Chains A and B, each alone.
Chain A
Amino acid sequence: MNYFVIVDVTLRKGIADPEGSTIERALPALGFTGVTNVHAGKSFRFDVEAESEEAALEKATSLAERLLSNPVIEDALPRIGER
């Protein structure tokens, strides 16, 4: 079966996020107030051919850790998505 997988890659806690803080600082100038804790990251989407949802997620986790993210500074969170 084909499973639609979404992987969010975000900077690990404690790692400086200059993109996130720059976006946060820009928001008040556009009139958006009360928006805090802005973090920037990446999102990947792909189909995985697998026997089950668990197997698809396992494969996605493995490839996310090996290639899509740098575990030194980033966390990767795979999940089954809705098309």
Chain B
Amino acid sequence: MARIGVVVFPGSNCEFDAAAAVTRLGDQAEFVWHTRTDLDGIDGVILPGGFAHGDYLRPGALARFSPVMGAVERFAATGGPVLGICNGFQVLVEAGMLPGALQKNRGLTFLCQPTTLVVSSTSSVLTRGATIGQELVVPINHFSGSYTCDDETHDELVRNGQIVLRYKENPNGSRDDIAGVANKSGNVVGLMPHPERAMSALLGSADGMVLFEGFLGVKVAPFVLAH
């Protein structure tokens, strides 16, 4: 049974949903307060959605300086799986653990709706259990979710298969319909949609399951670092 640390910043609000997704698949979730400086015994880290530190300045700008982020960076550097969902994705780009940046949505409206995602790469801890081209219905819930990066970074993302999920119909103006990206090694992944809210068909969609199964290593071979 894997022990997954769900980091809680002041202002996080999706930590219980993330923990429920983990426990639903038979693993153990443990809340990690943002002032903690160690991740001893943790097998995977989730940075959940919300408004860490009130999203003051820019989403993720202050959270990246929370004490726990040093431990998260060290954990990722040793190949540990790290997943940033929504605000967690914003924290990971601000921390420089993932390339690019997240801007305000093109239409300047807060978006809260189901979206259809297309799996673009399976060389990441999140998408390793899915198949390329597979469509997943997963909700979004954000104001600053428009992914952007320069041409050079974009070329590199395409070349390395780091674009893991794209929107079928782009809701927020993100570059190249990007919904989620991974680092070069594939062990750090961030996405704006909320797979933890797509864990039950009764509640709209169970398509987040295949992503969490990948992240938790259920039903798939252990992840091997690509680089």
Does residue A67 face the partner (Cβ distance < 8 Å to B)? yes
Prevailing SS type, chain B contact patch = loop
| Interface residue ranges of A6-26 to B (CB < 8 Å) | 15-16, 18-19, 22
Does residue A68 face the partner (Cβ distance < 8 Å to B)? yes
In the bound complex, what is the Cα–Cα distance between A29 and B8 (angstroms)?
Answer: 45
CB-based contact A22/B106 at 8 Å: no
Of the residues A18, A22, A72, contact of B100 by C-beta under 8 Å: A72
In the bound complex, what is the Cα–Cα distance between A55 and B101 (angstroms)?
Answer: 30
In the bound complex, what is the Cα–Cα distance between A16 and B108 (angstroms)?
Answer: 12
Shortest Cβ distance from residue A11 to the other chain B in the assembled complex, whole angstroms = 8
List residues of B whose CB falls within 8 A of some A CB. Answer: 57-58, 61, 65, 93-94, 100-101, 103-108, 146, 148-150, 173
- 21 CB < 8 A contacts A-B: A15-B103, A16-B103, A16-B146, A16-B148, A16-B173, A18-B107, A18-B173, A19-B104, A19-B108, A22-B108, A67-B65, A68-B57, A70-B101, A72-B93, A72-B100, A72-B101, A72-B148, A72-B150, A73-B101, A73-B103, A73-B148
The 9 closest A-B pairs by CB, nearest first: A72-B101, A73-B101, A18-B108, A18-B106, A70-B101, A22-B108, A18-B104, A70-B58, A73-B148
